[in-house]
């Protein structure tokens, strides 16, 4: 009995998952679009979008959201690459330990990790407690972009490291050995061999981290203040405090389209980089 490509059972096996997602994933998204187009008085139109894009405050919040996600992505790449390199180059128990080190935080709740950073940075936290012990003036580091940024880099680092490490794992070390044997300096070997071959992982990692950090709201909600407003927190507030469904839906759509457009741009840049290296 060889498998037949067009059997009824094929459909029956796929149907539950596909229909489930059509109803409870695509359905809600379509409804979200409809809700965002609702206008006072019952008609449909672009009023909510014009309201969001016509107000300097909302535009500023939108830009802050993008800049925050871009900065977090940049710093996780900067700090994550060497870590990924260490994972790819180590063997045995050391590798196991490094993977455990990077995976464990991934599975600890973002609320808990934000709380952890509040303990590090807070008024009576680790850093200020240490400063006080040496009779130095204390610094209030909570309630601003610095605290939000460092926490988000901590939250996102594992995603970047794992993406890059899996690309680095695939590089044949003989290539680098050959370059070094032929007299290339280590920096040149990195520039012309390792970096181009790891680009796939870098692209995957930056895409993932950017889209995760642009949508994150717990950290900003707990550590931020009025100045550090970002789109996801605003969506939440419109929904829970103002009960303004259409506006929340429209802001959600702005967030979604922003993620999709910027991810598209990142992919295009990645493709060009890869072609340039080839």
Partner 1 sequence: MNRWLKAYIALAAVFLLLPMALVVVVSLSSAQFVIFPPPGFSLKWFARVLQDTSFMRPLWNSIQLGLLSTIMAAMLAVPAAIVLVRRRPPGAEAIQTFLLSPLALPSLVLAIALLFFLSSIGLGNTYIGLLIGHVVIVLPYLLRTVLAVYSASDPRIEEAAYTLGANPWRAFWRVTLPAIRPGLFAGGMFAFLISFDEVAVALMLSNASNMTLPVSILGYLVNNYDPAVAAISVIKMAIVVVVLIAVEKFYGLGSLTLPQRGGTASHG
Between residue 125 and residue 164, which ones bind partner 1 under the rule CB under 8 A? 125-126, 128-129, 154, 157, 162
* Nearest distance in Å: CB 57, partner 1: 20
Q: Which residues contact 106 (CB under 8 A, 6 or more apart)?
A: 158, 159
Give the three-class secondary structure for 144. coil
Is residue 66 a contact point for partner 1 (CB under 8 A)?
no
Shortest Cβ distance from residue 276 to partner 1 (Å)? 25
Write down the least CB distance from residue 111 to partner 1, Å. 5
Residues 176, 193: Cα–Cα separation, whole Å? 7
Q: Which long-range contacts (CB under 8 A, 24 or more apart) does 227-235 make?
A: 227/144, 228/64, 228/143, 228/144, 228/145, 228/148, 229/61, 229/64, 230/61, 230/64, 230/65, 230/68, 231/61, 231/62, 231/65, 231/255, 231/258, 232/65, 234/58, 234/61
Nearer to partner 1, 196 or 237 (CB): 237
Least Cβ distance, residue 197 to partner 1 (angstroms):
14
47 vs 247 by CB, closer to partner 1: 247
Considering only residues 214 through 273, tell me which ones interact with partner 1, judged by CB under 8 A.
Answer: 214-215, 217-218, 221-222, 232, 235-236, 239, 245, 248-249, 252-253, 255-256, 259, 263
CB nearer to partner 1: give 79 or 145. 79
Q: How far is the CB of 219 from partner 1 (least distance, A)?
A: 11
DSSP state of 272: H
Size of the site for partner 1 (CB under 8 A): 91
Q: Which of residues 197-216 bind partner 1 (CB under 8 A)?
A: 211-212, 214-215
| Distance, CA of 54 to CA of 212 (rounded, Å) | 27
Binding segment for partner 1 among 39-47, 53-61, 114-122, 176-184 (CB under 8 A)? 114-122
- Closer CB to partner 1, 35 or 194, in the complex: 35
189 binds partner 1 (CB under 8 A): no
Handedness of CA 96, 100, 102, 107 (dihedral sign): positive
Site for partner 1 in 30-59 (CB under 8 A): 31-32, 35
Beta-bridged to residue 38, according to DSSP, are 44
All residues at 6 or more sequence positions from 131 whose CB lies less than 8 Å from its CB, including other chains: 137, 138, 139
Q: Of 21 and 178, which CB lies nearer to partner 1 in the complex structure?
A: 21
109 binds partner 1 (CB under 8 A): yes
């Amino acid at each position: 009995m060889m498998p037949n490509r067009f059997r009824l059972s094929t459909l029956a096996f796929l149907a539950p998952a596909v229909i489930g997602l059509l109803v409870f994933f695509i359905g809600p998204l379509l409804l979200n679009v409809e809700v965002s187009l609702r206008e006072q008085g019952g008609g449909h139109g672009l009023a909510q979008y014009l309201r969001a894009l016509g107000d300097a405050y909302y535009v500023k919040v939108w830009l802050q959201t993008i800049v925050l996600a871009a900065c977090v992505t940049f710093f996780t790449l900067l700090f994550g690459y060497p870590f990924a390199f260490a994972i790819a180059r180590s063997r045995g128990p050391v590798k196991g330990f490094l993977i455990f080190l990077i995976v464990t935080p991934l599975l600890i709740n973002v609320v808990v990790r934000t709380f952890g950073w509040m303990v590090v940075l807070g008024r009576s936290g680790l850093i200020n407690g240490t400063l006080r012990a040496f009779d130095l003036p204390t610094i209030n580091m909570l309630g601003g972009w610095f605290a939000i940024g460092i926490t988000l880099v901590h939250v996102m680092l594992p995603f970047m490291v794992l993406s890059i490490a899996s690309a680095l794992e695939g590089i044949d070390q003989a290539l680098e050995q050959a370059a070094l044997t032929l007299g290339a300096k280590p920096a040149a070997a990195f520039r012309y061999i390792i970096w181009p071959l790891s680009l796939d992982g870098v692209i995957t990692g930056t895409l993932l981290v950017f889209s995760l950090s642009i949508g994150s709201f717990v950290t900003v909600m707990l550590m931020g203040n009025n100045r550090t407003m970002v789109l996801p927190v605003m969506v939440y507030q419109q929904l829970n405090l103002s009960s303004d469904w259409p506006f929340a839906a429209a802001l959600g759509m702005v967030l979604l389209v922003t993620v999709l457009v910027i991810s598209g741009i990142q992919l295009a840049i990645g493709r060009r980089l890869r072609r340039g290296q080839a």
